[in-house]
Amino acid sequence: MCDDELIPPSADLTEEQWLRAEPALAEGPVGERVREMRAPRRRTVLGGVVAGAAALTVLQGGERPAAAAARTDRFPLPTATNRAGEYAVLLTGDAGTGDEAQHAVAAAAREVCRAEGVGLAVGLGDNIYENGPESADDSEFRTKFEDPNSGLDMPWLMVLGNHDCSGLIPGSGGDPSRGDREVAYAQASRRWYMPSRYYNVALPARPGDGSDPVVEFFAIDTNPVSSYVAQLDPRYYWNGPYMREQRAWLDGALKASRARWKIVLGHHPYLNNGKHGSAGSYDGFVIGNYTSGIHLKELYEEVVCGRADLILSGHDHTLQILEPTARTRGTRQIVCGAAGKAGDGKAHFRHPATWQNFSDHGFMILKVSGGAMTVEAYTVDVTTRTARLAHRMRTTSQAG
């Protein structure tokens, strides 16, 4: 499946204004989806996998849903390194199509993960195409996550993408509250790890033993400051309480972290050579508070750059390992959004890059130890379901 994101005609429209400006959206498959969103469809309920999920209470912001229905057989977070002395992590993004490409990438990743001793996975948003889930027990959690990832039996650190927070228009990001359904689903799944809309996870997962973590992940929700449309719920305004709370949390969590490697997970990238562009000028928009991503650019530059080692993102359906620069103050941007859809085959911008691919499906493997961090990029032949190691990048730790 190719990259087919809907782009509004102007910045910061409401969804209704967008539909009036482009009446053709009300025709064909997109129009059908718009009508479905106006009168939510009924999907089949998952079986025993989500028993009890309907009883969950999902809270706003970074708060956690009630855990009464949480299952007790979840795949555990790694407490020790693999045989190579590393924590190995599968990186995927923009996967949730449910089609052959997603299944092929997952099948190829299974073989690599077995060989490399991978014990953790990351899903960088757009987890459920095209509109996100209709409920915490939507059957699409099975068809677009559990079934394709069968055999990848490990915790998956999940973040919210714009399609997970669709309003009337698929991928608009216009209804962030829909992301609460994905938080709730985490209580019912062995794999899906999303304790709240933003959160942090440190490895090894041995709380209270007094040792410093080797690596810490900070999962953030970028949608309220990079949606294609203006937000209508005051809680999710670009300068509303939710983003103020999240920014304060991220600032404090990065400041408090004692991990050797600090990695921020956010669906929308800071820098990007793919067609969507970089924060502050997404899709060619340079005005407004939402569509351009200007306030996400501020968040990355004022809170993340110079403090995190990596920013891992999706959104663009490409594979990119960019170079850290003076602008990023040493932080490296990686884009890994080709697990379900592929890009248009060409670079649109010229940020310095170590390696990049704009046409193939694929995934990456991150390996970290106290002394080094390695990123391996794999492209996938969808027809044969096989992976090819396309690039390896290694960074060594500097004492102090």
Report, as an integer, the average pLDDT of 239-252. 98
Q: What is the pLDDT of residue 62?
A: 56
Report, as an integer, the average pLDDT of 254-267. 98
- Asked whether the CA dihedral 251, 253, 255, 261 is positive or negative, the reply is negative
Q: What is the pLDDT of residue 39?
A: 67
The pair phi, psi for residue 182, each rounded to 5°, is: -75, -35
pLDDT tens-digit map of 138-167? 999 999 999 999 999 999 999 999 999 999
Tally the C-alpha atoms within 13 A of residue 391's C-alpha that lie toward its C-beta: 16
CA atoms of 25 and 277, how far apart (whole Å): 24
- Residue 69's contacts (CB-CB under 8 Å, 6 or more residues apart) are 51, 52, 53, 55, 56, 187, 188
10 Å Cβ neighbour count for 369?
18
- Asked whether the CA dihedral 326, 269, 123, 341 is positive or negative, the reply is negative
Q: What is the pLDDT of residue 33?
A: 73
In the predicted model, is pLDDT for residue 258 greater than 60? yes
pLDDT tens-digit map of 344-361? 999 999 999 999 999 999
Report, as an integer, the average pLDDT of 360-381. 98
Q: What is the pLDDT of residue 65?
A: 46
Report, as an integer, the average pLDDT of 312-336. 97
pLDDT tens-digit map of 302-319? 999 999 999 999 999 999
Give the domain ranges of the chain.
Answer: 15-396
Query: Which ranges of the chain does DSSP label H, i.e. alpha helix?
Result: 15-21, 28-38, 100-116, 140-141, 180-185, 241-256, 294-299
Report, as an integer, the average pLDDT of 320-349. 97
Can you tell me which residue has the tokens 């670009």?
A: 238
In the predicted model, is pLDDT for residue 383 greater than 80? yes
Mean pLDDT of the chain: 91
Q: Supply 149's token pair.
A: 């990832």
Which range, of 25-34, 57-66, 264-273, averages the lowest pLDDT? 57-66
Q: What is the pLDDT of residue 399?
A: 52
Pairing between β-strand 319-322 and β-strand 353-357 as defined by DSSP bridges: antiparallel
Percent of the chain with pLDDT over 90: 84
Q: Are 41 and 225 in contact, with CB atoms under 8 Å apart?
A: no
Q: Are 366 and 374 in contact, with CB atoms under 8 Å apart?
A: yes
Percent of the chain with pLDDT over 70: 90
- Residue 201's contacts (CB-CB under 8 Å, 6 or more residues apart) are 77, 157, 193, 216, 217, 219
Q: Which homologous superfamily does the CATH classification assign to the domain defined by 15-396?
A: Metallo-dependent phosphatases (3.60.21.10)
Instruction: Dump strand ranges (E) for 128-175.
Output: 156-158
One-letter-per-residue 3-state SS of 338-386: CCCCECCCCCCCCCCEEEEECCCEEEEEEEECCCEEEEEEEEEECCCCE
pLDDT tens-digit map of 160-205? 999 999 999 999 999 999 999 999 999 999 999 999 999 999 999 8
Distances (CA, A) of 365 to 12, 15, 87, 89: 36, 37, 10, 6
In the predicted model, is pLDDT for residue 27 greater than 90? no
CA atoms of 94 and 341, how far apart (whole Å): 7
Q: What is the pLDDT of residue 68?
A: 43
Q: What is the pLDDT of residue 60?
A: 40
Q: What is the pLDDT of residue 37?
A: 67
pLDDT tens-digit map of 109-120? 999 999 999 999
Q: What is the pLDDT of residue 67?
A: 45
What order do you get walking across the sheet with 353-357 strand by strand? Answer: 199-203, 215-219, 261-265, 310-313, 332-336, 319-322, 353-357
pLDDT band of residue 40 (cuts 50, 70, 90) is: low
pLDDT band of residue 51 (cuts 50, 70, 90) is: very low
Report, as an integer, the average pLDDT of 327-353. 97
Q: What is the pLDDT of residue 208?
A: 66
pTM of the complete model: 0.92
Q: What is the pLDDT of residue 61?
A: 47
